[in-house]
Amino acid sequence: MYTVKPYYDADVTISVPSNMYRLQNVHQAEKGVSVKDCSTDDLDPVTALERRQEVILQRLEGLKNVLQGLKSRYKSPDTPSASVTSKAPSASKRAAGKPMDLGDGVLDLVVNADPDQVPFSLFVMFKLLQEKFRVRGVTHVHSSVTSKCATNLFPPSDGRCDYQIILTLIWKKVSNGPELMVNPLRQSVIQGEVNIVRYLRRLLDPSAETEDPVTLATCDELLDLVQSRLIDGNNKERDAALRTLNARLGRSSWLVGDSLSSADIAAWSGINQSKLSSDLPVNVKKWFKACDNNAMFQSARRVLL
């Protein structure tokens, strides 16, 4: 190998400039811990380990004193405040099937939706939310939308302080379906109509996640079917989805169990979005008519007119 000229000569003393400020040595022993205590080079392994442990404990004690000083200075409480702990539902509330405890603040739900692909299920879920929370609905139109959009889709209301949830619908050109944002600092955007339905379902009844996993899995399977085949699928996939729904509705009046579920809401919305309501199988047609006659769907019907 070829020889490389050394960067410096070890026998030459290097002069350090004195025209700059000097920094504290980061390896210097902390206050209360001597350099002698930190050095373990001349000790046997066990004694050296004990010495290092003593140094670490002294440093931890110093950190504890600093934290105690900060706590006294800023008067920090020992336990989380009531507003923080109240956000998580208690076991008794979950067991009783009660809705999520939202605490003292206002929960903002902001949904961006394309007026050419209306998430009809959102308006049905809004009615369900109103049964358990004080909810206000607001509609705006983004500058990316040039066509005329309906803005009087929710009951008129004013202010914020009288409500627990404020649902803001923004008509906006979005490429991958509607988007839901709850907290931009703590989460990503929730994309897709059925995923928004899933989120609102958990908000309405957190206990549904643990009570009946089989029913929950069936409901989620149907929600995926609605999104992938009814809403985003081609004609062939939509026909296959309708046959699947028709087979299920031949055994019961609703898609999951014997009562209305989020799968029924999403499927009803998907059929309306895909404009399939005029040519449905027998069982699906009967079910679809029952949905139309249900009071929960009346607000969504106004968007279809």
The listed CATH number (3.40.50.150, 2.60.120.380, 1.10.260.40, 1.20.1050.130) that belongs to domain 99-304: 1.20.1050.130
**Whole-number pLDDT of residue 32:** 53
**Whole-number pLDDT of residue 252:** 93
Domains of the chain by residue range:
99-304
The yes-or-no verdict on residue 94 having pLDDT over 50 is no
**C-alpha span between 291 and 159 (Å, rounded):** 33
Tokens of 271: 């059929």
Q: pLDDT grade, residue 48 (50/70/90)?
A: confident
pTM of the shown model? 0.65
The yes-or-no verdict on residue 146 having pLDDT over 80 is yes
**Whole-number pLDDT of residue 174:** 92
SS3 state of residue 215: helix
Q: Residues 2-43: pLDDT tens digits? A: 787 776 666 667 676 777 677 666 555 555 555 455 555 667
**C-alpha span between 44 and 61 (Å, rounded):** 26
The yes-or-no verdict on residue 204 having pLDDT over 70 is yes
Q: Which of 14-23, 153-162, 276-285, 292-301 has the lowest mean pLDDT?
A: 14-23
- Among residues of the chain, what percentage have pLDDT more than 70? 76
- Mean pLDDT of the 190-219 span: 86
